[in-house]
């Protein structure tokens, strides 16, 4: 995607340096963050400098490649690499793409450092290609003058390029379809209000930010035609882990008979995970609920407490949407049902 006329990907690698768009600074500042070693890349993932399933996966793959490069200076290379792998995998436990990338780069690196680097680049390249195809297939669901609800950010910032939930919207726009996007603010970190809205504004796509608790009212009044969300992990039976609040949207959409789609590449599917009950849910710091970051009227960055000073908070980062609430899953191979049979067939064909 372009920012100020320049083509960018969300994350990339130059030599042993991993570079990424600092998403914690958006939408107020556009800045490139540099990670000089795998531990710095780990910090970038855990602190959400980079976030989103595909972007996390690509960053983790590059971090694993960095670890292989660094292992040349270790006394016990294998021990160093295994410890690095554990550290990278511990950064975000829910997103399947992270584990997918780390495993592939780890296996390649056992052959050579060069193979690890090549595999990391291959994963990032495939992520961009897959999400472009998700846009192509998903755009078939979008009619002219459609009103679409999104949750969290599953645009190009969440992947190497194009994105998942937003990719069909970009593709529909390129097909000269008129679309309007209702953007859930997505508390507590505001990925919708900060990132999705920034993306859509950058692409000149009409949109409006709504409070998370306004979705039901908008659906009830007939203002939403379609819901598209992303995914961080998909179980074999079609259950989906995604940003907290996705389950709410699915329940409401089901009640009002509104199509609810998940968009995700095959790297998000976990064939070893039977149902959503097997997915580990990440719990993050209560501070994300109790405080908010922003800029004042003078453009100065500030952090303020917005909740009772004597109260704590519970902050689950994800929830599980059961397969029966999902109309379909948009993948790079096409649109499939959220069912064990359809997913098994999809994954089996992909292995051939």
Active site residues: 232
- As beta bridge partners, residue 16 has none
Q: Count Cβ atoms below 10 Å from residue 304 Cβ, excluding itself.
A: 10
Residue 3's H or E segment, with its range, is strand 2-3
Question: Got the DSSP string for 115-170?
Answer: HHHHHHHHHHHHHHHHHHHHHHHHGGGPPTTEEEEE-S--SGGGSSSS-SSSHHHH
- As beta bridge partners, residue 82 has none
- As beta bridge partners, residue 33 has 20
Cα–Cα–Cα angle for 185, 191, 196, nearest 5°?
A: 85
Residues in the chain: 352
Enumerate residues 6+ apart whose C-beta is below 8 A from 165.
150, 151, 154, 155, 228, 229, 230, 263
The CA distances from residue 144 to 7, 155, 169, in Å, are 28, 20, 11
Assess whether the previous peptide bond of 188 is cis (omega < 30° from 0). yes
């Amino acid at each position: 995607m372009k920012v100020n006329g320049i083509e960018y990907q969300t994350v990339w690698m130059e030599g042993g340096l991993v570079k990424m768009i600092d998403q914690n600074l958006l939408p107020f500042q556009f800045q490139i963050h540099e990670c000089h070693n795998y531990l710095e890349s780990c910090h970038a993932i855990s602190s959400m400098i980079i976030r989103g399933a595909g972007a996390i996966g690509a960053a983790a793959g590059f971090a694993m490649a960095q670890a292989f490069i660094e292992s040349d200076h270790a006394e016990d290379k294998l021990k160093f690499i295994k410890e690095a792998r554990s550290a990278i995998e511990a950064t975000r436990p829910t997103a399947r793409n992270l584990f997918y990338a780390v495993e592939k780069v780890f296996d390649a690196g056992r052959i050579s450092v060069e193979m690890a680097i090549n595999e990391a680049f291959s994963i990032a390249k495939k992520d961009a290609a897959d999400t472009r195809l998700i846009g192509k297939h998903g755009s078939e669901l979008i009619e002219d003058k459609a009103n679409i609800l999104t949750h969290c950010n599953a645009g190009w910032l969440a992947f190497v390029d194009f994105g998942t939930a937003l990719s069909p919207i970009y593709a529909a726009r390129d097909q000269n379809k008129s679309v309007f996007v209702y953007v859930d603010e997505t508390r507590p970190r505001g990925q919708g209000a900060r990132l999705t809205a920034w993306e859509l504004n950058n692409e000149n796509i009409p949109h409006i930010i709504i409070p998370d608790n306004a979705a039901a009212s908008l659906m009830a009044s007939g203002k939403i035609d379609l819901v598209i969300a992303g995914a961080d992990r998909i179980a074999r039976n079609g259950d989906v882990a995604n940003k907290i609040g996705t389950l709410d949207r699915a329940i409401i959409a089901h009640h009002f008979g509104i199509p609810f789609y998940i968009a995700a590449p095959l790297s998000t599917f976990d064939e070893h995970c039977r149902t959503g009950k097997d997915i580990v849910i990440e719990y993050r710091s209560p501070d994300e609920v109790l405080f908010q970051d922003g800029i004042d009227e003078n453009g100065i960055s500030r952090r303020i407490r917005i909740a009772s000073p004597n109260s704590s908070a519970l902050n689950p980062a994800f929830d599980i949407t059961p397969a029966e609430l999902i109309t379909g899953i948009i993948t790079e191979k096409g649109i499939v049902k959220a069912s064990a049979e359809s997913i098994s067939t999809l994954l089996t064909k992909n292995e051939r």
